[in-house]
Amino acid sequence: MAQQTAVLGAGVIGASWTALFLAAGHRVAVYDPAEGAEDFVRRYIDASWPVLGELGLTERGDPNDVSFCDTPSKAVVNASFVQENVPERLPVKHEIFRDIEKALTQDAVVASSASGLTLTEMQGGWNNPARFVLGHPFNPPHLIPLVEVMGNDLTDDSAVSYAEAFYKDVGKVTIRVNREVPGHVANRLQAALWREAIHLVMTGVASVEDVDKAVWAGPGLRWAAMGPTMLFNLAAGERGLPEFCERYADSFHRWWDDLGDPRLDPATASALSEGVEAEGSGASQEDLAKRRDALIVAMLNSMKTLR
């Protein structure tokens, strides 16, 4: 029997989760009060299904096994797993959690996709947050494997383990966040890279397009294979990371000392916007997204036998 799953909040992230859960053979109940939400989700599923099929992820699924509810408490009835994606405002999240808590089955796990809020902040909306975890994806969740999972002293260990097993079953790769920090892990890494990318553009070192190109045609290819520390470990031959640190410490210290600290003020935002318009060469947002998804699918398929 298909597992009952709920999705609360069905913007781009929630709709993407919905498509993935359906592909994995789940029945999905969706709640989103926005006008046109059901139509948006159905169109998102239709658009995502062929891409998920290319990844071999739709064999268990039925794109029509989705229902839409007019309250969050109705959506979570009989659900063993709930993915929450409502706007990142604490009063909104707390209200949702208060609404659903009594309607949840005893062993249900609720995972939040929140990127900007901490688990501790969100736990304030629960009488008992033991079955509530962080389950932060990367956009779009139906394609990017990563999910950051976290519990804390108020979380039942079995809830964290269940969430990790659930995500693995739908094709995700999880990491465990051991200590609470703003932005979790991956967002902080990409924020650090983007900060320096912006600095290079705003100080005239290179254009937006060329900085982007420097990533995808250079270290980005390596990062898709392994993380930076393991790659540097391999870069120094037999002696590995100790040799690398000894050899390149002065260079890295010099680079780190020279890194910039830009801000996303109006002038910076305008310069970056002009840069991505030039880089896009007139392509629409929809066409750029399709190109992104096609490249991600090609890379994931090419790595299947190597992981």
33 and 167 assigned to the same domain: yes
Which among 176, 204, 235 is the end of a domain?
176
Predicted model pTM: 0.92
Predicted confidence at residue 126, as pLDDT, reads 97
Parts of the chain with a pLDDT under 50: none
21 and 137 assigned to the same domain: yes
Q: Rounded to whole angstroms, how far apart are CA atoms 9 and 28?
A: 13
127 and 195 assigned to the same domain: no
The range of the structural domain enclosing residue 196 comes to 187-303
Q: Rounded to whole angstroms, how far apart are CA atoms 102 and 142?
A: 29
78 and 223 assigned to the same domain: no
Give the per-residue SS3 of the chain: CCCEEEEECCCHHHHHHHHHHHHCCCEEEEECCCCCHHHHHHHHHHHHHHHHHHCCCCCCCCCCCEEEECCHHHHCCCCCEEEECCCCCHHHHHHHHHHHHCCCCCCCEEEECCCCCCHHHHHCCCCCHHHEEEEEECCCCCCCCEEEEECCCCCCHHHHHHHHHHHHHCCCEEEECCCCCCCCCHHHHHHHHHHHHHHHHHCCCCCHHHHHHHHHCCHHHHHCCCCHHHHHHHHCHHHHHHHHHHHHHHHHHHHHHHCCCCCCCHHHHHHHHHHHHHHHCCCCHHHHHHHHHHHHHHHHHHHCCCC
102 and 234 assigned to the same domain: no
Radius of gyration of the chain (CA): 21
202 and 165 assigned to the same domain: no
Predicted confidence at residue 306, as pLDDT, reads 82
Predicted confidence at residue 1, as pLDDT, reads 56
In a domain, 181, yes or no: no
pLDDT digits (tens, 9 = 90+) for 49-87: 999 999 999 999 999 999 999 999 999 999 999 999 999
CATH number (domain holding residue 18): 3.40.50.720
120 and 197 assigned to the same domain: no
CATH number (domain holding residue 290): 1.10.1040.10
Predicted confidence at residue 37, as pLDDT, reads 96
Predicted confidence at residue 4, as pLDDT, reads 96
40 and 171 assigned to the same domain: yes
Predicted confidence at residue 93, as pLDDT, reads 97
